[in-house]
Amino acid sequence: MKNTPQGRAIKLTLTVKRPSGNVETIVHPTLTNISPAQFAKIQRDTRAAGRGEVLSYEVEREGNEVSALNAENARKAKQHDNIYNEGAGGFNPHR
């Protein structure tokens, strides 16, 4: 089980062993984060329904890639503003 504490949770993936023996990786349709108690309940309910055994989960969070992209976008916006304002003494009518 992987639940790293950085960033906002964006996706919950469950690993399920079906009664046929197949192992599937499923993205939960509504949850993006999970507690150990919720995971235990999902395991119990899946087993009771005869749908297999939930083996593990992984919470994907916004990480460094997203932060780096936001920083790059902010840098480009500042560069655009600097070019746009070059002859206007710093005046930007859009801000």
Question: What does the pLDDT look like over 37-84, one tens digit per residue?
Answer: 999 999 999 999 999 999 999 888 876 555 555 666 677 777 656 655
DSSP count for the chain of H helices, then E strands? 2, 3
Dist CA 44 CA 38 (whole Å): 10
What's the farthest any 2 CA atoms get from each other in the chain?
Answer: 71
pTM, 2 dp:
0.58
Among candidate residues 28, 35, 23, the one with its CA nearest the CA of residue 12: 28
Listed by start position, the domains of the chain span 1-62, 64-95
